[in-house]
Structure 1
Amino acid sequence: MNNQILITHPAPDEYPEWFAGEIDLVHYPDLITGLDDMQIQTLSLLQNLSEEQLLFRYAEGKWTIKEMWQHVLDVERILSYRALRFARGDKTVLPGFDHDGYAMVSQANQRSWEGMLDEYKDIRRSTIRLFQSLTPEMAMQVGTAGRSVLTARAVGYLVVGHNIHHLETAKERYLKPLT
């Protein structure tokens, strides 16, 4: 018996306005469909890139695709952890993190692209399983991370919106200039 709930789009009062830019990018009927489809779209676009494409910077001081995608991996891990804590009713204020600092020490450009994409698939599978395990009540639990108060389901939509944002950035700023 499948007890999986449909986690629909969060209301604007479930997250701070500064997350609206990414959450509003999500136009899927439910969270799991969005997580699944974005993985398919992401792998379709990124899996066959050359090393030249992966190491391209569109401007001085900007990340490469490898660095950007390491950032996506790190953020999805952190957001999933936050969603778990929120869903379990944990009211501890979770600390923020310095995504630029993480990128600086990640050594993403030295990593295997195949390994990074495998890691992306594993993290996404784990994220999907987490959200599939939630009850409606768990999905609506509120927590705080840094100065942000949001529901567990809003965190899930932030994962998808963040993926969409960076995939669109890859298309527009990294892959277009090389074609």
Structure 2
Amino acid sequence: MILSSEYGSYYAKYVANVAGDDIAAALMNGLVSVPAFFEEIPTEKQEYRYAEGKWTPKEVLLHLIDCERVFMYRAMQIARSTNVHLEGFDQDEFVTNSNANARDMDSLLKEFIAVRTATIHFIQGCNDTMLLKQGRASDSPLSVRAAAFITRGHELHHLKIIKERYF
């Protein structure tokens, strides 16, 4: 069972979205369910904003990809180094500069699959000691396994928002 001491309190809402303790299985489930979800979004809704300043589904998908890369970079640093203290990042700046809406959904989904596949291989390659190893990121504690739980829970959070507010 993942402990609340492995991540900052801000991330509790994401970790709570992930059922069970097998994070590799949860990530593999997302490898199938996330592309299937985004493939069902009609072309005319892929660049829809439910309110001014809100992200489009394409921007949300690329945001998920970017966040997964950031969290897995953090996890790799923590797993392979000592005394890790990593800075945060500005998710809004990332989205603004992402060019997501100029891309087609197929290219975004291929990128998601590539990143998720790498994430699964990384997590499966970590032993229990590595998964429990902790560092600091964005001024909060972070274990390697918490980074993976946050990644999966974060995407589930955004899928729920899309279901509720975009359709």
Shorter-chain TM-score bucket reads: over 0.9
| Counterpart residue number, 1:82 | 74
> 1:84: how far off?
0.7
1:150 to 142, 146, 166: 142
Bigger shift: residues 76-85 or 39-48: 39-48
1:72 to 64, 68, 71: 64
Q: Deviations 1:139-166 (Å, cap 9, x if unpaired)?
A: 0111111211111111110011011111
Given that 1:89 and 1:142 are in contact with CA atoms closer than 8 Å, whether structure 2 keeps it comes out as no
Give the structure-1-normalised TM-score.
Answer: 0.89
> 1:119: how far off?
0.3
Three-state SS of the structure 1 residue aligned to 2:92 is helix
CA distance in 2, matches of 1:136, 1:92: 18
Aligned Cα root-mean-square deviation (Å): 1.1
Q: Work out the number of aligned pairs and report it.
A: 167
CA distance in 2, matches of 1:34, 1:55: 28
Which runs of at least 4 in structure 1 moved beyond 4 Å after TM superposition? Answer: none
| Counterpart residue number, 1:6 | none
Amino acid at match of 2:140: S
Three-state SS of the structure 2 residue aligned to 1:59 is coil
Q: How does 1:16-165 map to 2 (within 5 A)?
A: 16-165=8-157
- Higher CA-based Rg: 1
Given that 1:89 and 1:141 are in contact with CA atoms closer than 8 Å, whether structure 2 keeps it comes out as no
Given that 1:15 and 1:149 are in contact with CA atoms closer than 8 Å, whether structure 2 keeps it comes out as yes
> 1:48: how far off?
3.5
> 1:28: how far off?
3.0
Bigger shift: residues 147-156 or 45-54: 45-54
Three-state SS of the structure 1 residue aligned to 2:141 is strand
Q: Percent identity?
A: 34
Given that 1:141 and 1:152 are in contact with CA atoms closer than 8 Å, whether structure 2 keeps it comes out as yes
CA distance in 2, matches of 1:162, 1:87: 21
> 1:53: how far off?
1.0
CA distance in 2, matches of 1:52, 1:164: 23
